[in-house]
């Protein structure tokens, strides 16, 4: 893992753990506090409203008591009573829908709405007839259709009940009282009766048409309990509801507030806490990044420097601080520079060594090639020598065997066989001499017995040796040497070998009817000897090789020509031993010229 | 002119006129009287015919003499091309083939003969101064029937010729 990541994680842990603990604790505490406040407020508002309803109803009760004690009511003075009641009606606009007076039989004997009828079956009549104020359940008015209650109070004349004074009070006025309770946008206030029927609601159509005794608060309040709680209401909404029982009228006042709205403070707090925590977290991460960058930046530079050093493109790392890392960077830079210096030196040395090696390798390859060639030459040598030795041996053997077994009585055939044997013994001798000469030349042990010699005499002798062959091939050999030519200092026998080898060679490669000219002439200190033939010539690229031992210009010509391929090599070796060299010029198809110089004999 | 047809023509002439002289035949066919004599001799000869192929006259001559003395008819060739011609014309019973020949070498001659349906069955004994195992194997692989290294013992060579001939006749 990178140090930076580790540092960031470390900072996060040491900052986030206490931060979240503090945030959570304060959030928890504040939430409880807010909830308590909200509940207390709602409960208080409900109780206050309940009290306000009580007070208002008390005023109504006082009114009906006062009216029932009035002279006009006691004496049933209808016109005066109407006038008197009109004052109440106008004073409490819309509160009283109707005042009416009942006799003891329940007959309506007076009504502000001039209504008649009998109410002896009504509970308010029977209860009031018992001698005390009675408030009826909420009913819908027969006349206006609005919900209302009837207050009934006995009228006493001289101590005994003479009739019942009743007033129908509209519930509409309660709206003004209850509108003071803050229920928010989605809250609801309603009053239910003992059975759970709605008797007061903003939606008037539900009044006495809807029973909601399955609502938690309604259940509680109809058990005559007061309180506050969170529950799911009859609409399926989660609400905070407070309820208050008004025992005098058997009413349950219920105020419900949407729980989210009620606790909006808590949610605000939650949001704030989350924002604060988030901001704090981001801040911590930023700080961690900045700090870790400060710490890891130089380390990273060091790492890059080290990688660069490994891969060979090192650049000095800038020292950014004076702390431990800064000092380490400085040391690293110095060490790296030193290493590079050493490396450069080493590379130079290696380069030199490599070049040396390459050179040596080339030399070795060349030497190896040379060895291979030598090896090939050796194989060739063995093969050629064995063939050249075995062929005459074979002839000798067959001839001898034949002589032994068959040819005893035929002198002609005997002579033929002896000739073959002798010829092949000569051939073997020549071969062996050639090989010995060659090995002497190679070993540098060619001993020369120098003497004064006449080149003319030597040339003529050599021509004589080859006369038979030249006649056979019809090749003319001429000597072109001045009579007064200077004598030379040579090993006579060896020079004869040289001339003989050259002439044999020329005869081999000159077609029938050709010519060979042997010439010699005086030079300042030397005699120049030349042999020119009209032979097949030698190609330029092969000129250099013809003096190599065993070399044959055309290997397939070997059998036609015969021999070991040592002739020119031996000739060249002998001339070199005399301190000179054989030169050759040649035109393919026209002929070749061999030439060399020999030292003049001193006078 | 093909010599094979010369033999045929000689036979034809003899059939036509039993009293015709050698000189007359030689004139009619444009060859020497000596040749006619040899041919007529050979035509009635039942001795095995040996073709010796060697460019060394000094080897070829004593070998020829001793084989002739040992009841063989000997035909000779000095190089590869001549050997092929002789085989076609003389139809020898056996060939003694030197390997180191100028121009076409012995291996080439051997493989040409062994690759030709007409000459495939003529046994070949290779004669050579080379006697590496490598050379022997190469010779035998291209179809030589035997291999004799120079310098060889004449008795041994004769024995081998007999043995190879016997084998080829039994085939």
Q: How far is CA B85 from CA B5, B52, B92, B142, in A?
A: 13, 13, 11, 20
What span, in angstroms and rounded, lies between the C-alpha atoms of A215 and A327?
78
Average pLDDT over residues A357-362: 94
pLDDT tens string A469-523: 889 889 999 999 998 888 999 999 899 989 998 998 888 888 898 999 999 998 8
Nearest chain A residue to B154 by CA distance is A398
The sheet carrying A198-201 orders its strands as: A198-201, A188-192, A251-258, A238-246, A227-232
Residue A570 confidence (pLDDT): 87
- Residue B129 is nearest to which of A386, A413, A424, comparing CB atoms? A386
Q: Taking a C-beta distance cutoff of 8 angstroms, is the pair B81, B103 a contact?
A: yes
Domains of chain B, CATH where assigned? 3-43 (1.10.10), 49-170 (3.40.50.2300)
pLDDT tens string A547-567: 776 665 554 444 444 566 778
pLDDT band at A107 (very low <50, low <70, confident <90, very high): very high
pLDDT band at A349 (very low <50, low <70, confident <90, very high): very high
- Interface pTM (ipTM) of the complex? 0.76
Q: Taking a C-beta distance cutoff of 8 angstroms, is the pair A529, A399 a contact?
A: no
Residue A348 confidence (pLDDT): 94
Residue A540 confidence (pLDDT): 82
Asked if pLDDT for residue A532 goes beyond 90, the answer is yes
Q: Taking a C-beta distance cutoff of 8 angstroms, is the pair A149, A64 a contact?
A: no
Most B-contacting residue of A392, A402, A563 (CB-CB within 10 A), to test interface: A402
What span, in angstroms and rounded, lies between the C-alpha atoms of A274 and A269?
9
Residue A382 confidence (pLDDT): 79
**What is the share, in percent, of chain B residues with pLDDT greater than 70?**
96
Q: Mark yes or no for CB contact A393/B58 under 8 Å.
A: no
Residue A219 confidence (pLDDT): 87
Q: Can you tell me which residue has the tokens 């209504």?
A: A115
Residue A1 confidence (pLDDT): 65
Nearest chain A residue to B70 by CA distance is A406
Residue A561 confidence (pLDDT): 44
Domains of chain A, CATH where assigned? 182-262 (3.30.450.20), 446-599 (3.30.565.10)
Q: Does the N-terminal peptide bond of residue A34 adopt cis geometry, omega within 30 degrees of 0? A: no
Average pLDDT over residues A362-371: 93
Q: Mark yes or no for CB contact A391/B150 under 8 Å.
A: yes
Top pLDDT among A282 and B21 is at A282
Contact B22/A at CB under 8 A: no
pLDDT band at A406 (very low <50, low <70, confident <90, very high): confident
Nearest chain B residue to A427 by CA distance is B58
A contacts of B130 (beta carbons < 8 Å): 383, 386-387
Residue A266 confidence (pLDDT): 82
Lowest mean pLDDT among A56-70, A89-103, A293-307: A293-307
Residue A558 confidence (pLDDT): 42
Instruction: Return the sign of the alpha-carbon dihedral for residues B36, B40, B43, B49.
Output: negative
């Amino acid at each position: 893992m990178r140090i930076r990541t580790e540092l960031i994680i470390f900072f996060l842990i040491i900052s986030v753990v206490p931060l979240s603990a503090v945030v959570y604790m304060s959030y928890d505490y504040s939430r409880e506090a807010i909830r308590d406040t909200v509940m207390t407020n709602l409960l208080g508002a409900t109780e206050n409203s309940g009290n306000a309803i009580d007070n208002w109803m008390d005023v109504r009760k006082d009114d009906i008591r006062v009216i029932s004690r009035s002279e006009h009511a006691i004496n049933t003075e209808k016109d005066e009573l109407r006038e008197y009641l009109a004052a109440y009606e106008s004073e409490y606009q819309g509160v009283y829908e109707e005042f009416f007076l009942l006799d003891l039989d329940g007959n309506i004997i007076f009504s502000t709405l001039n209504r008649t009828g009998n109410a002896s079956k009504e509970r308010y009549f029977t209860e009031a007839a018992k001698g005390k104020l009675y408030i009826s359940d909420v009913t819908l008015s027969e006349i206006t259709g609005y919900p209302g209650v009837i207050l009934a109070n006995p009228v006493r004349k001289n101590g005994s009940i003479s009739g019942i004074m009743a007033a129908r009070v509209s519930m509409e006025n309660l709206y003004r009282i209850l509108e003071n309770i803050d229920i928010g946008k989605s809250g609801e206030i309603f009053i239910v009766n003992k059975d759970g029927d709605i008797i007061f609601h903003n939606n008037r159509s539900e009044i006495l048409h809807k029973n909601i005794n399955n609502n938690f608060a309604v259940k509680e309040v109809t058990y005559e309990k007061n309180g506050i709680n969170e529950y799911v209401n009859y609409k399926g909404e989660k609400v905070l509801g407070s309820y208050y029982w008004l025992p005098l009228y058997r009413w349950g006042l219920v105020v419900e507030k949407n729980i989210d709205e009620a606790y909006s403070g808590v949610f605000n707090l939650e949001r704030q806490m989350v924002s604060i925590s988030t901001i704090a977290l981001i801040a911590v991460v930023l700080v961690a990044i900045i700090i870790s960058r400060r710490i890891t930046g130089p380390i990273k530079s060091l790492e890059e420097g080290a990688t660069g050093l490994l891969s060979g493109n090192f650049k000095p790392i800038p020292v950014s601080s004076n702390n431990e890392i800064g000092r380490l960077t400085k040391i690293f830079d110095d060490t790296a520079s030193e290493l590079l210096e050493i490396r450069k030196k080493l590379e130079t040395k290696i380069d030199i060594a490599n070049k040396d090696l390459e050179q040596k390798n080339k030399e070795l390859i060349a030497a190896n090639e040379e060895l291979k060639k030598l090896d090939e030459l050796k194989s060739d040598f063995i093969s050629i020598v064995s063939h050249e030795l075995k062929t005459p041996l074979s002839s000798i053997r067959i001839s001898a065997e034949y002589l032994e077994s068959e040819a005893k009585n035929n002198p002609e055939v005997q002579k033929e066989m002896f000739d073959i044997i002798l010829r092949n013994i000569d051939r073997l001798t020549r071969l062996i001499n050639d090989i010995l000469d060659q090995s002497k030349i190679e070993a540098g042990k060619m001993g020369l017995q120098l003497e004064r010699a006449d080149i003319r005499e030597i040339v003529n002798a050599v021509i004589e040796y080859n006369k038979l062959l030249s006649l056979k091939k019809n090749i003319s050999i001429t000597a072109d040497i001045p009579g007064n030519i200077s004598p030379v200092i040579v090993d006579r026998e060896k020079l004869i070998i040289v001339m003989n080898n050259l002439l044999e060679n020329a005869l081999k490669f000159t077609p029938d009817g050709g010519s060979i000219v042997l010439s010699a002439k005086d030079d300042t200190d030397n005699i120049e000897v030349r042999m020119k033939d009209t032979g097949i010539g030698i190609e330029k690229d092969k000129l250099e090789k013809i003096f190599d031992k065993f070399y044959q210009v055309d290997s397939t010509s070997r059998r036609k020509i015969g021999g070991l391929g040592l002739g020119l090599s031996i000739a060249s070796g002998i001339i070199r031993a005399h301190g000179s060299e054989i030169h050759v010029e040649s035109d393919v198809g026209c002929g070749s010229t061999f030439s060399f110089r020999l030292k003049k004999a001193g006078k | 002119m093909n010599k094979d047809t010369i033999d045929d023509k000689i036979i034809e002439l003899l059939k036509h006129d039993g009293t015709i002289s050698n000189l007359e035949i030689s004139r009619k066919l444009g060859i020497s009287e000596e040749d006619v004599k040899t041919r007529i001799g050979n035509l009635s000869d039942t001795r095995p015919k040996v073709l010796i192929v060697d460019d060394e006259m000094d080897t070829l001559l004593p070998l020829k003499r001793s084989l002739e003395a040992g009841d063989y008819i000997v035909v000779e060739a000095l190089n590869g091309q001549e050997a092929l011609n002789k085989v076609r014309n003389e139809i020898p019973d056996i060939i003694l083939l030197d390997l180191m020949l100028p121009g076409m070498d012995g291996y080439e001659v051997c493989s040409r003969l062994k690759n030709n349906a007409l000459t495939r069955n003529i046994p070949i004994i290779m004669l050579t101064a080379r006697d590496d195992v490598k050379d022997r194997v190469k010779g035998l692989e291209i179809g030589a029937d035997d291999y004799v290294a120079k310098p060889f013992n004449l008795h041994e060579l004769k024995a081998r010729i007999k043995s190879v001939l016997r084998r080829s006749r039994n085939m």
